[in-house]
Amino acid sequence: MAARRVLDKWVMLQHGHLWDPSNATPTGGGETMTGVLHHAVIPFLRHLLPRSNVHIDPERLVALRPEERVIPVLERWLKPGIFERFIDALLEILVENGALARPLAWVTTPSLLRWRLKDDDDLWERAGASAMAVLEGAKSLPGKPPPPDVLVLGHTHVMDWAVQDGRPGVQRLYVNLGTWSARATDAAGPMDAAMPLLRIDADSRQLRAELFDCARRWRPLQRFEVDR
């Protein structure tokens, strides 16, 4: 976390993983899932025999956000039967690495995994709701820093911008930069190559925040101005 005083405003910057239960602690499962993808799933796909009329791109999984979407993507890529065996092997690896209790692995099915994925897909909305509650003063940031006037997060892989209107003449800003890398969300669609950049500056009278997409010739996306 970083805190910066700009004029009479507090600007808070956090990565955002503390707001995500699967990544808030070393035992939350997120770190294990990343390791399993890179050291088990991707090597498995590289050694898999080609499937007719289906292009399998193992490197696409690196850009997949959220990572848990590997399940529906591989359901598109793998032959019936192989997919079910893959799920069994994946669950066993997660159990062996402490990311999943064995009794849960016994009852986990692809349908249950897809239901869990919906909750992961909603992470950006839940992060936004929590951030707005912080700006409203109804919730505290982890670590209890000063109440922010501008709150900047990442981690959710989805850009977000929201203005909180307080008492008359007072506005506060929430920005989520998503992720600074190309992103995929499905098995075959185009990659999202947006590269967000947030610029915050001020003069003696006003604080300004501007959001740009560097990948598209610095195309402006949003602008926020507030007087001191």
57 — pLDDT class (breaks 50, 70, 90): very high
| pLDDT at residue 41 greater than cutoff 80 | yes
| Domain range summary for the chain, segments of one domain joined by + | 2-19+138-227, 30-121
pTM of the predicted protein model: 0.76
Q: Rounded to an integer, what is the distance from CA 76 to the centroid of its chain? A: 23
Structure confidence by residue, pLDDT tens digits, 145-199: 889 999 999 866 788 999 999 877 789 999 999 876 778 888 888 888 888 999 9
pLDDT of residue 97: 82
- Calpha distance 148→227 (Å, rounded): 15
Among 59-63, 83-87, 181-185, the least confident range? 181-185
- The CATH architecture that domain 2-19+138-227 belongs to is 4-Layer Sandwich (3.60)
Q: At what angle do helices 70-77 and 110-121 cross, to 10 degrees?
A: 130
Structure confidence by residue, pLDDT tens digits, 201-211: 999 899 999 99
Percent of the chain residues past pLDDT 90, beyond the cut: 36
- Calpha distance 139→156 (Å, rounded): 19
pLDDT of residue 190: 87
Q: Rounded to an integer, what is the distance from CA 27 to the centroid of its chain? A: 18
Do the strands 150-153 and 159-165 form a parallel or antiparallel pair, or are they unpaired? unpaired
Grouping H, G, I as helix, E, B as strand and the rest as coil, residue 162 is strand
- Which residues lie closer than 8 Å to 44 by C-beta, 6 or more apart? 86
- Calpha distance 24→22 (Å, rounded): 6
Using left for φ > 0, alpha for ψ between -120 and 50, and beta otherwise, residue 157 falls in: left
Beta strands in the chain (DSSP E): 2-6, 9-13, 150-153, 159-165, 171-177, 196-202, 206-213, 219-227
